[in-house]
Structure 1
Amino acid sequence: MVSSYEEANRNLEEELIKIKVSSEIATAEKDKVLEKLQRVKRGKMEIVSNQSSLQNQTITKTNYSTVQTTTVQQKQSQNLIAKNQSQKTEAMAITKKLVSLDGQAGISPSVTSITNTSSYNVKDMSSNASHFASMSKESSLKQSETTTRPFSPKLQGHRGSISIRKLIKTKFLDRETLQKLETGLVTLEEVQSSLVQFIGKPTAIAGIYLESSKKKISFLEAAEKGLLAKTYAIEYMEAQAATGCVIDPLTGQTLSVQAALENGVVGLDLKDKLMDAEKAVTGYVHGSKTLSVFQAMEERIVDRLKGKKIIEAQIATGGLVHPVIGVRVPLNMAVDQGLLNKATLQSLYDPVSNPKGFHKPDSGQKAYYCELLKTCLYDTDGGVYLLPFGEKNLSSFSFSSCHRVSVINSASGMEMSTYQAFKGNHIDKLTYLFLSQQDSEWQEKSTVDVNESPLHVITDLKSGRQLCIETALDLKFLEITELVSYRSGLISVYELADLILSRMVVVPDANSPLAGLWDVTQKRRVTILQGHQQGLIDRLTALRLLEAQACTGGICDPASGEKATVTEALRRGLLDETFARQLQQCEQAYYGIIHPQTAKTLSVAQAIQENLFPKDVGLRCLEFQLLTGGLINPETHDRISLDEAVQSFLVDKAIASFLKDEKSYPKSLTCPKTKRKISFMDALEKGVYDGHTGLRLLETTKVLSVGAKSSFQYLWTYRHI
């Protein structure tokens, strides 16, 4: 009994040992099988890699004939298929063995599932290899066609596609751009975006905006309605064709002259004129060459005056058009490539050699195209530029406001400034910058204050406005984060200026003297000294205006609205040395005259009584103070009425009686507009408050002599060459 139990026990132990050994063997075998499966998987990856490599070779290889390529590809495909079939057979055998081992060792069926999947993938891979072989044959048939068609991406211009290789050939782009495109470092869209100012729609004037009805019409329709002469309308249509395309103002669609004729945008009666104008874009064929407008002028194909008129319009709308590539190019490139010369460029705005060639629709007054563009409104409905027509003078720029209406939506009747349109997402940044540059030209410069502390000032070279960045930060018109964005280039100087201006609240200063002049012709603020230097006012008038400033608080800077002492004004260029010497006494009228014996501060009237101050100068200073808001107490600098001054013994009754008689005020000034003699009181009545500073400005104008050049000429000439 016992022996039977012990024997059974031994048999059980032996069976357990066998099972354990079998399990260990199965596990070891399984590990080997899994290792082989990994090799199969790697083989699959190698096949896929070879497929890709072979496909690339098929597409890019150009130095072998079609027959050689097909033979090599077929051999490679056969080798791949054979290798694939071998690996497939091996995988199937491994799979069977693994299943058998799994059954012996009692392993979960999940491994079998994985193995079957691998086997299935190998099968798919084999099928793909067969498909690739047939694909290789098909691609090899196209090999000759592929080898003759190099990588040549194209950009989309307003007149059709533009080959990048052609842009490189004409040195508009460098070869590095093409290499970046080939390697994928940049996309075609990115290149297109970077060149939009040269290949996009030109900023030609599309039509007229009727201020009364807030509707837009084409030039030809306006001529039919009798709003402008037909000849004026043709001028503008020719300018459209000569700057790139005919523009439908209602839709904003840009068309070639032929397309415009076919679509009925223009009539057949204008076909010859517009076709001839369009040659300024497509080029003038002369023998085997295609000539630019300037080159055609030199060959006497185009009349010189007509050619200059076209060149001026092209430059105003974005740049000179290169006839070979059909895009606008920078002026320095145009000069370098002989599309234009410096002499022609510098005489574009000379009224003698190049008279103004366009007419304003409302007045018929002649103007350059760039001058007309500055008065245009941008219509967001269609993205077109329109000339305003009416009595509202919507787009007129004046010193009484910081921004003019420059953007409209003719569909809704909305009217807004450029910055308002930009912040409201009605226009993109490129349009915002273009419109801003029509009104202003902001530049930053560094200077120091009286205490030698650094200051950063942005100045509008067109209007004469100035903004101090440090002052804007102190007054919370500008945030530190916005300044950081400006310094890092995220926002432009135009945006920085508009940010500050939009937050400034300007209140007219009722006590302001005439702080400066407003040049009506140039539409800019000038100091009294600049006005005298530029011949806008005579020296005596300038002296009297400066005397009024000195005795009422300081010499005014109309650009910033700041006031300075005579010494500081001399340092800042607001005065010359002669004016500075003449104004010393007037400055004492504000700060008071120190009695040499008692050291007491005297008013002007008191100093006159003590014979410490010239009577004629003193009476002028009292007149200037009284007319600008009241006499000034030299100790407190407060304004007081004439009666209060008499009661305070700052003025005696005799002087008070003289000051009350307005008819006694001398007419020692010359009106800068009428050239008639006027008094200081008359000049104040003519003055208008500046919307930028709140100070008074006196309007002035100067008729340009024959042959004078506008500053716009030099702006283009020396900035771009």
Structure 2
Amino acid sequence: MTTRAGGKYQGTSVSLWDLLYSKYITEEKRRELVQQYKSGSITIERFLEMILTIIQQQTTTTSSSSLVMCQPPETKVDSSTTTITTTVTEITEVQNFHGIRKDVTANELLESKIINEDLYKNLTAGKVTVIEVSEMDSVRKYLKGTNSIAGVYLQSTKETLSIYEAKSKGLLTPGTSLILLEAQAATGFVIDPVKNKKLSVEEAVAQRVVGSEWKNKLLSAERAVTGYKDPYTGNTISLFQALTKDLIVKDHGIRLLEAQIATGGIIDPVHSHRVPVQVAYTRGYFDEEMNKILSDPDDDTKGFFDPNTQENLTYLQLVERCVTDPITGLSLLVIAKKGEFYFFVDEATKLILKSTMTTRAGGKYQGTSVSLWDLLYSKYITEEKRRELVQQYKSGSITIERFLEMILTIIQQQTTTTSSSSLVMCQPPETKVDSSTTTITTTVTEITEVQNFHGIRKDVTANELLESKIINEDLYKNLTAGKVTVTEVSEMDSVRKYLKGTNSIAGVYLQSTQETLSIYEAKSKGLLTPGTSLVLLEAQAATGFVIDPVNNKKLSVEEAVAQRVVGSEWKNKLLSAERAVTGYKDPYTGNTISLFQALKKDLIVKDHGIRLLEAQIATGGIIDPVYSHRVPVQVAYTRGYFDEEMNKILSDPDDDTKGFFDPNTQENLTYLQLVERCVTDPITGLSLLVIAKKGEFYFFVDEATKLILKSTMTTRAGGKYQGTSVSLWDLLYSKYITEEKRRELVQQYKSGSITIERFLEMILTIIQQQTTTTSSSSLVMCQPPETKVDSAQLPSPLQLQR
């Protein structure tokens, strides 16, 4: 503890932890200091002194940054009065932004056309902060860039490896590995994807992320960021300028330049940030000839390689085939072993998707012309859905027009809230009688036979969904009239929840190795106790299927035992739990009854039954074993699958009814609480329980914080929440907030750096930026500088950016 901190901590006793996670310390600085301390480079006393110095520098600058400029008094004299006017001008000094390797001034961002005049004035007036501006998509792209290829994702084991380690294990050739590492160095930093570190080449060699034999080659590539020295003038020049002066080999230079453009833009080494294309033209960092080369690449200029398909690709094409790490957000190149299925979008299909344009998309694309490719890879489409649609299109099951309609429907469902549908109502015959005639008007309705829906273990009729209040009368009529399809209705959030449920805990994510394991395998390796493992597997069986998270399979208990996903010693216990899905047999009547009914008839132990029932409710709703789908709570009451007493037990759980266990914190939790601590697999979308080794940092939201977040409500959110009342918790865990941003904001709130009100405002701002198109954050069209010599314009390299 210390009482020497300044700023908001002035005169209080505060821990080094709270200072470290305060607003005064950037994420980058935080990591750097923690790594220095853990490596033994600095003592805890030195650590504290460095933090105090940073805070002092920031708070001293803040207090002295408002400078008042006083003009000499102006005196006006007339015959009766003397007026003295004093003009006072207040000038605010703006804190610098963090560039790639050094700080960047707000003035430089203005001159580089990254921010406009209005935003600059707001900054200098203190109406917006440096942090808020840095988080704008249109600014962050140039300060931080987008993801380069950080490492390798081994599909068979779900393991993450660095590029160099993949080379050492024979998964990548030395040539492919070196080219990928050079691209990392030339776009900012060499990356350790396992520890989520961004390093200079010197640091990467020292920490053995790369071998010393490649040090000189990577230092050369790194100059694309830090700048090359002009041998004639001694000035710092850019990658493109070094290329035109023949200081680097042409093919090598083109490869690095293309990587920079693919990850956010050409880097200005003098000012240490990326620049818009038109600024790159102006500063001599790009020209028409290079634009043509990169706009129409052939195999000779495709400098990167997909080891799975043996294709030469551009860097952007290779990045587009990567998956995203669920915790770090890094892009990882998938390596599929021989015989494994490798999903990617081939270039011919990609060309069709990119050339299929629409102006009918909602959400953040409202009112703009956008390609089907951009919609497919937007935040509205899950990885699983993306794969499914691409495979349907490539197999010929759907046309490109149908593909587009399905995407637009998904986006519309997510971004708009509709209270009702406009449907044709079928009226009975109307008879009008007057003194001379009788008129009978009959409305004829064509009835279409509706295909069944896929339930948990068997098909479900549309009529059953109507009776279960999962769909309403209007939607049912649209189905029978053929105006909407079974597939479209199945994909609605309000329907899918009951047909498929939400995620149960599918497996384990080993934080130290980034490896995915099944529950049973984690037990076998001593990572979970037998008791914890059995309880988790019973929850899987009772909510639908036993899951193999490595091969992404959902299996019956019989199948899981046969495929050795679970051991045969647990077969009977899991078959018993599975009856929560398929139904129990009433020994008196022979009827199929539900889990709750079996519990009431003492056919299963109370604690066991409550645990399974809570898992069902946490993953979408109570399962009706007769019809093989979940049902809304009011329907469960009506059918005798739930009652008020059980509702009270599950609504206010104590340690005796918290039937699940967090192995990291040793806490008893409800199933929902444990699910909320999971991470999502980037490829399968499955929920995985994180296992942190002793000494590793384990991130989770504690129950007290969660309660505050769930009780903080707003009606001001945009996107899919437009016009509804929603909690800060739901917004925080929505598709609009990345895993990395979620962690950062929670840590800031828990450290006291931001209030709950500020937390909410920051979340609303992020959602607004993502779901609305504003003139200040619109994409800059990549036009070359205007020339007065003739009317010709250089081609635009828009196709270089997705």
**TM-score relative to the length of structure 1:** 0.38
**Which structure has the greater CA radius of gyration?**
1
Give 1 or 2: higher helix fraction.
1
Larger RCO (CA within 8 A; separation ≥ 6): 2
**TM-score relative to the length of structure 2:** 0.34
